[in-house]
Amino acid sequence: MADHEASKINHDNHLLLDQPLLRLPYELLRKNFRSAHFTVEKESTTLNKLLKETAKRSLDSKTSPEDVVKNLDAMIAKMRGMKRKLSTYADEETRLYKQLDARVAHLRELSDMHSVEDVKYEAWSRKRLDRLLVDYMLRHGYNTSAQALANERQMHDLVDVETFLTMSKIRESLENGSVAEALAWCNDNKKELRKLQSSLEFLLRCQQYIELLRINTISKSVEAIAHAKKYIAPFQEQYPDEVREMAALLAHRPTDKDLPPKYAAWYSPDRWSKLASTFVEAHNKLLGLPTFPLLHTALSSGLSALKTPACHGTQKTTSSSQPGHSQTSMTSSVCPICSIELNELAKNVPYAHHSKSHLDNDLLLLPNGRVYGQAKLDEYAAKAGLAEGQVKDLVTGEVYSRAALKKVFA
């Protein structure tokens, strides 16, 4: 009964990890609809105004037929332009609905499984692992590898390559000292960023101002003052301290000796990487994406199920003075928590909570401090072809006499 419960699939827990799989297409559909609606409203207003003007001028005897025809041609050009824009939005909507259908079908496959022992579950979980790997690589800039994996596994509709490629491009432009792409993105998402109370646009405008001051010429200083009046002063109520510091930077240039630390920080080259991190944070928050890669979340949940207070001890492997013989410490084992690769990630996850403990019968303590059930030792000794009265450690491979073993009472 216990084994059956342990192998049973908890669909709710799986869906917790896969929330972004459905949420991102939904958020992109909302954004696409808002953009299409804005285009229709804007172009319709312009067309109505042009239509009224054309109708009014056509009734005026002073207006020549050629002028009326010109107005009509302008209206037709406007409508064709609006049609092209709406066709683009329609194509994007079709792509997103196709992506959403594929993801729902992927999750529906899981709903038809009820045990991890199901032969279909291994293939499904492998596909999910591939998705998590693509997500991880896209977040860390390994775009070519991510695209290659997505294409090889034929799961382009299950991963968000285009979204992360756009994010990666803007992040790299900020790291290379350009704010143009990031400001264009802020302009496209102005209302949403305002709702989130994001400081990204303000910080980008401040960086533009700082770069003008860095040149340290009279013409650039005048340009910086005009820039501050237009783009920084409107943020006075939201960021009063920062706006005052921006004004003070006019009297504190990067070439000044004994530049106060708070002003030197504004001129630091490290600000570009901070801006890139601020952009990524705002981008993920806007689209409902988790801050950390989903692979970290999946690994953390698995590591938490295995972590015990004995983990994160010393795990160095020491060698004895005898050549060809190694001695392994008690904490150096096959435990994933204690492995070099996952040890750092597991430090901040909680300990496992086990309501039931499972121990082997007839426990025996080996001289190296490890404990195993007698049945396991006998079985392993038989497989290893050991002499009568000898046992072998299942992990380290050390061989001991059965007389050296001690009985353990649990």
Q: What is the tens place of the pLDDT at every residue in 114-160?
A: 888 888 888 998 999 999 999 999 999 899 999 999 999 999 999 99
DSSP state of 17: H
> 189 to each of 31, 183, 295, how far by Cα in Å?
9, 10, 28
| pLDDT of 315 higher than 60 | no
pLDDT tens for residues 332-380?
Answer: 456 777 777 777 778 777 777 666 666 777 888 999 888 888 888 888 8
pLDDT tens for residues 249-300?
Answer: 999 988 888 889 999 999 999 999 999 999 999 999 999 888 888 888 888 8
Range 373-393 average pLDDT: 87
pLDDT at residue number 53: 81
In angstroms, the CA 100 to CA 158 distance is 8
For the chain, domain boundaries:
19-110, 167-286, 296-348, 363-407
pLDDT at residue number 180: 95
pLDDT at residue number 6: 59
Range 5-26 average pLDDT: 81
CB 342 within 8 A of CB 299: yes
Q: Match 């050991």 to its residue by tokens.
A: 386
Residue 259 in tokens: 């530049």
Beta bridge partners of 401: 390
pLDDT at residue number 334: 61
pLDDT at residue number 228: 95
3-state secondary structure of 364: strand
| pLDDT of 187 higher than 90 | yes
Torsion of CA 398, 403, 409, 410, to 10 degrees: 10
The per-residue pLDDT of the chain, averaged, comes to: 85
Over pLDDT 90: what percentage of the chain?
A: 44
Over pLDDT 70: what percentage of the chain?
A: 91
> 30 to each of 36, 91, 182, 230, 379, how far by Cα in Å?
10, 14, 21, 31, 61
| pTM flag (> 0.75) | no
| pLDDT of 32 higher than 70 | yes
Residue 203: band (very low, low, confident or very high) from pLDDT cuts 50, 70, 90: very high
In angstroms, the CA 96 to CA 31 distance is 11
- Amino acid found at 144: T
Helices (H) and strands (E) in the chain, counts: 17, 7
Residue 350 in tokens: 């909680």
In angstroms, the CA 154 to CA 103 distance is 13
C-alpha closest to that of 337 among 374, 378, 373, 309: 309
C-alpha closest to that of 186 among 174, 173, 175, 202: 202
| pLDDT of 309 higher than 80 | no
| pLDDT of 318 higher than 80 | no
Q: What angle (nearest 5°) sits at the alpha carbon of residue 200, between those of residues 199 and 201?
A: 100
pLDDT at residue number 396: 83
